[in-house]
A and B are shown apart, each in its own frame.
Chain A
Amino acid sequence: MSAAGVRVAARVAVGLRAERRTVLVCSVLVALMLGLGLLGLCYGASWASPGKVLAVLAGSEHSVVIRDWRLPRVTAGLVFGAALGVSGAVFQNLTRNPLGSPDVIGLDAGAYTGALVALTVLSGTSAQLAGASVLGGLLVSAVVYLLSADRGFSGLRLVVIGIAVNAMVTALNSWIVLRAELEVAIAAVGWSAGSLNGVDWADLWVPFWVIGVLLALAAVRSRAMHQTLLGDALAVTTGVSLNRLRLLMVLVGVGCTATVTAVAGPIAFIALAAPQIGRRLAGAPGIPLLPAALAGAVLLQGADLIAQMLLAPVALPVGVVSTAIGGCYLIWLLTKEVGRA
């Protein structure tokens, strides 16, 4: 090998070393994800040994409970978690704000309004809940986006207008809850916590496809997305078509969250916490997508397990747990940093 070749190889090696931590962190997260997934398949009203679970997965044994009850739930936990993590990362990159998440543009609040209407005015079947919540969420986010999008774009303006619209929609929601019958109100609040209880394969095929396409889009555009962290001016002069990219980012973020919400209700906090957790673990610049997705999957699947175990046999909505542990984790990370500083 020539001297120049050696030098290049050495440089590439240096470049790789800088990313070694990211690779390591991602591998650990994947392992954790698989472990939690396996645990989710084993755990239930009756414990199944990991060996049996693997046999069922390989097709050499048959179990309706594992294949048709537990597997869809576990898969949903992982895929939805990843979707929420990516959606949060996309929004935090877009708004350049660690508090950016799809709820910022009113998605969750709007979805809740839709669900409330489905429950109080319509009969509240699960199809109505899914349809109305997606519709409500998309409608409110479209309003926020349109209000903030004219005459150039500013992440901060999007956030502020999102907060304003959110506050109004939330006020409307709490008023509907206030006026509703207690039963209906409890059902609505239960939905709004977000839950994976009782999902089955029939509910999942379409959402999985949608999420798959959106995640692929996000992956393809991730380099341009990270380029925008240099500021609008440099992003444009290094060749990013900002307006198109932004629209796409909003579509991916909103699409992922809306899809998850339609099936499971608004599962709070994963979109907010997973990107920050992933970023801090990986020590990478900006908010990388892969660690965010993996952290989201681990977080949601872990939360769902805890939600099933905590007060068994009562199954808590996973949103209650995801919110609580996501928050704890963030506090813990921050305390660690305070100790180090």
Chain B
Amino acid sequence: MTVADRVAEVTRGGRETPRVALLLGGLVLLAVTAVLSVGVGAHAVPPTEVVRALFDPRGTDDHVIVRDVRLPRALLAVAVGAALAAAGALIQTLARNPLAEPGVLGVTAGAGFAVTVGSALGLAGAQTGQLVFAVAGSVLAALLVMAVGRRSPLRLVLTGVALTAVLNGIALGLRLMLPDTFDAYRFWSVGTLAGREQAPLAVPLTAIVLSLAGALLLSRPLNALALGESVAQTLGAGVARTRTAALVLITVLSGAATAVAGPILFVGLIVPHLVRRIAAGSVPWLLLYSMVLGPVLLLAADIGSRVLLPTGEVPVAIVTAFLGGPALIWAVRRYGAGSL
């Protein structure tokens, strides 16, 4: 369990451990998992071939698989993992609640609802259709939640839960009456990276990259906001502006990730939790670590999803839950459910 080891190592080292060195370590870990992820699968490619395929492509079968299938999928995993983890770090900071995850903005439920409606209308059959519906649904849901709940963190969370329930209830009713819609939905509803690399990804991926950059730019005002509204005010951070910007970023990040991969619920909750102790209260570091560890978790889960069963792939969302769940339990039992 690499995550656990790393966290344990950091806490042994105490606060003096340079955070930069840890970040570099994280990046190395990311590179290793990425190479592994490109090599592992139904058709294994040795790491040396992987590297050669990247820098000196020859057009052999190995190289074609790496460049056309595995590499896009790994990039997808990195983007989705970073997006979800960063969105989680942002919402936890904003809601001052270590239990918040991007889903509390109604993003996941909105996407699921829209995909259900889309396939009920016969418009979301292909991946592109599903993607468009998912993006639209998540953005609309998040806008509604923000409109009602933006005044206080607690209200935001409650509104999100309530809207999630409403949308899930209606969507479930629809699916129970329309078996075809149910069938399409059940395959969408378990987030996976398999085959998703074939969808038109340029737009969502660009959105993710831009939003990640935006999140880093926003991390200093957020740092001030984490000290409470009045302190933030006196430190000169525009509270309302910062909060709105953060909410928009969360929506775009988690909406885009959900749209391309389907719901993967756990990354946004677990990753900020695991890195919070290393970040030691600094929002910029929390975001940076999340952006590195999120992809590591998703890549590892994706490797797992390909090798766990001989008969076929396990969707990555399921592997993520079984990697992240025990890690979260371990962290909570070891360090308590400390808040931000």
Contacts and interface: CB of A to CB of B under 8 A. Distances in A.
A331 B159 contact: yes
B151 A341 contact: yes
B261 to A, nearest CB: 14
Contacts of A170: 321
Given A157-B337, A186-B182, A338 B151 contact: yes
B325 A323 contact: no
Contact of A334 (B148, B190, B322): B148
Interface string B298-340: 0000000000000000110110111011101100110011010
Interface residues of A, number: 53
A323 B168 contact: yes
Given A174-B190, A193-B172, A338-B148, A98 B154 contact: yes
A29 B21 CA distance: 61
Interface string A153-168: 0101101110111011
B161 to A, nearest CB: 6
B265 interface: yes
A314 interface: yes
A1 interface: no
A167 B320 CA distance: 9
A147 B329 contact: yes
Nearest to B156: A334
Given A159-B99, A331-B163, A189 B172 contact: yes
B164 A327 contact: yes
A274 to B, nearest CB: 13
A61 interface: no
A182 interface: yes
A314 B179 CA distance: 15
Contacts of A269: 165, 169
Given A161-B329, A323-B168, A189 B182 contact: yes
Contact of B166 (A154, A328, A337): A328
Contact of B148 (A190, A319, A322, A331): A331
B182 A156 contact: no
A163 B329 CA distance: 9
A337 B326 CA distance: 39
Contact of B329 (A164, A320, A327, A328): A164
B337 A324 contact: no
A126 interface: no
Nearest to B312: A179
A272 B161 contact: yes
Nearest to B187: A178
B170 A171 contact: no
B324 A167 contact: yes
Contacts of A205: none
A172 interface: yes
A323 B166 contact: yes
Contact of A335 (B148, B183, B189): B148
A252 interface: no
A206 interface: no
Interface in A62-82: none
Interface in B157-203: 157-159, 161-166, 168-170, 172-173, 175-177, 179, 182-183, 186-187, 189-190
B99 A160 contact: yes
Contacts of A324: 165-166, 169-170, 173
A216 to B, nearest CB: 30
A330 B284 CA distance: 35
B133 interface: no
A175 interface: yes
B266 interface: yes
B158 A98 contact: yes
Interface in A163-213: 163-165, 167-168, 170-172, 174-175, 177-178, 182, 185-186, 189-190, 193
Given A99-B99, A167-B265, A323-B169, 6 more contacts: A182-B183, A273-B165, A326-B162, A326-B165, A327-B162, A327-B166
Interface of B: 98-99, 148-149, 151, 154-155, 157-159, 161-166, 168-170, 172-173, 175-177, 179, 182-183, 186-187, 189-190, 265-266, 269-270, 273, 314-315, 317-318, 320-322, 324-326, 328-329, 332-333, 336-337, 339
20 contacts: A98-B158, A99-B158, A147-B333, A160-B273, A164-B270, A164-B329, A165-B325, A167-B269, A171-B322, A175-B315, A186-B176, A193-B172, A269-B165, A320-B176, A323-B166, A323-B168, A323-B169, A327-B165, A327-B169, A334-B155
- Nearest 4 interchain pairs by C-beta: A323-B169, A324-B169, A327-B165, A171-B321
